[in-house]
Amino acid sequence: MADTHSVLVTGGAGFVGATLVRRLLGSGHAVRVIDNFSTGDPAHLAGVEVEVVKGDIRDADALAGALTGMDSVIHLAAAGSVIGSISDPADNFSVNAFGTFNVLNAARNSAAQRVVIASTGGALIGDAIPPVDESCVPKPISPYGASKLAGEGYAHAFAKAYGLRTVAIRFGNVYGPWSGRKRGAVNTFFKAIHSGEPMVIYGDGSASRDYVYVDDIASALELALTRDVAGGSVFHAASGVETTVTGLADLCRAAAGAPGHPVEYRPARAGEVGRNFASYDLARDVLGYAPTVGTGTGIPLTWEWLQREVYAASQ
């Protein structure tokens, strides 16, 4: 395959998509976006020379049209909330499992040769002694994790049955610019600081995650698009660093200049993994991936972006 591609990015007006689309265009790829704007925002791509198609990945006709002339797909569109998947597992299945099948099937019936799908590490593997890696046995404990495992299963099957070059990138907990609509600990903590409300921690604060800056995730996705890897491959795009919820709260308070901001502890929530961080050794060895932005830099950058683009705009 050529070094540059014509790429359909599903969910390209979302958080990760806003960074990825800019990166792909900067590398010389031709890009088209399909998004139903349920969580994405057309404003995320304002000023970007990219074709944007409004459509839902569950609509086979919309996908077929969007894939015309494309040789690759990066599939980001998803229902991304663990807690949301527990309250509405049917919708989560519809978007993540059926939606991913639809993307793969549409690619099979088009000229597309490669499909890179966004997956997840912790939620898919479930409770396991970290660091987790690609050899860990998946045991999801939420419908969200199960839906992502189903997507990976179909991606592997389509690689073996139809020769489609599929690559799954398992994200850590992504944060960074363009995340104004994202639900997650970083945004929730910063919103509490901005509004003067207590930061809420579910559990005793010892739960941990692997926080990855969005630029590093975009790098992993582009590498999965361009490197010569076998269909059905799976890689973790992670930081390799374990950060507890209490540690993250302290990082957010420090970034906002509010080290004494109050914290409120509440009971742990069902479906959420206890400890999690991942090894990215395989992605480093095969793709050449390496994270470049640690939380000490990325958390302050995210606070600055939220202040400038979200909080100032709402006042």
Rg (CA), the chain: 19
Q: Which of these is catalytic: 144, 154, 175, 211?
A: 144
Interhelix angle for 245-255 vs 185-195, to 10°? 50
What's the CA gap between 168 and 231, in Å, rounded? 9
Using alpha carbons, select from 146, 57, 156, 73 the residue that is nearest to residue 111: 73
Partner residues linked to 168 by β-bridges: 117, 234
3-state secondary structure of 229: coil
What's the CA gap between 289 and 219, in Å, rounded? 7
What's the CA gap between 189 and 82, in Å, rounded? 17
Q: Catalytic annotation on 144?
A: yes
Kindly report each contact of residues 297-300 with a partner whose C-beta sits within 8 Å and lies 24 or more positions away, as own/partner. 297/213, 298/175, 298/176, 298/211, 298/213, 299/175, 299/186, 299/248, 299/251, 299/252, 299/255, 300/255
What is the amino acid identity at position 192?
Answer: A
What's the CA gap between 281 and 240, in Å, rounded? 9
71 CB-side CA count, 13 A: 10
Please, what's the largest Cα pairwise distance for the chain? 57
Which residues are designated catalytic? 144
